[in-house]
Amino acid sequence: MITDAVSAQVWSGEAAVHVSIVNWTKNGEAKGPYHLSVQRGDSVRSPWETFEVPRINSALASGHDVTAAVVLHTNTEASRVYNGQFPRHSGFVIEPTIARDLIRQNSRNREVVHPFLIGREMLVRRTTAIRN
């Protein structure tokens, strides 16, 4: 049983992350009310909000209780797993200009040369689509 928790606290170190902290008992004999805190914002000086709640759920949220959630059959008996594109080595990733040249040289290359988007392109630069 969770007795006290911090749902989100700004990490005081260099990493730009939030952490959660949980206190619990094994025997479930702790008496409430329990305290659930959350730090609002992205600075170590951001304000805190604390709730007194009759129970702290596994989502560490005062408004969402997932204890009544059911297991979905599709999640236990999945017939396939989709991972998307995963080249496993940077040697399989080429610049868009090279890809366009390969396709111009031989149109059959279009069967094996496909656009590949990674997070870096979404964050720091615009991508150029492969065109005929």
**Residue 104: band (very low, low, confident or very high) from pLDDT cuts 50, 70, 90:** very high
pLDDT at residue 131 tops 70: no
Token pair of 56 as six digits: 């702290």
Helix (H, G, I), strand (E, B) or coil at 116: coil
**By the 8 A CB rule, do 33 and 53 touch?**
yes
d(CA 44, CA 7): 15
Residue 75's pLDDT is: 76
Residue 124's pLDDT is: 63
Instruction: Tell me the per-residue pLDDT of 16-72, one tens digit each, with 9 for 90 and over.
Output: 899 999 999 888 778 888 999 999 999 999 999 999 988 888 888 877 677 778 888
d(CA 99, CA 130): 7
| Mean confidence (pLDDT) of the chain | 83
Percent of the chain with pLDDT over 70: 83
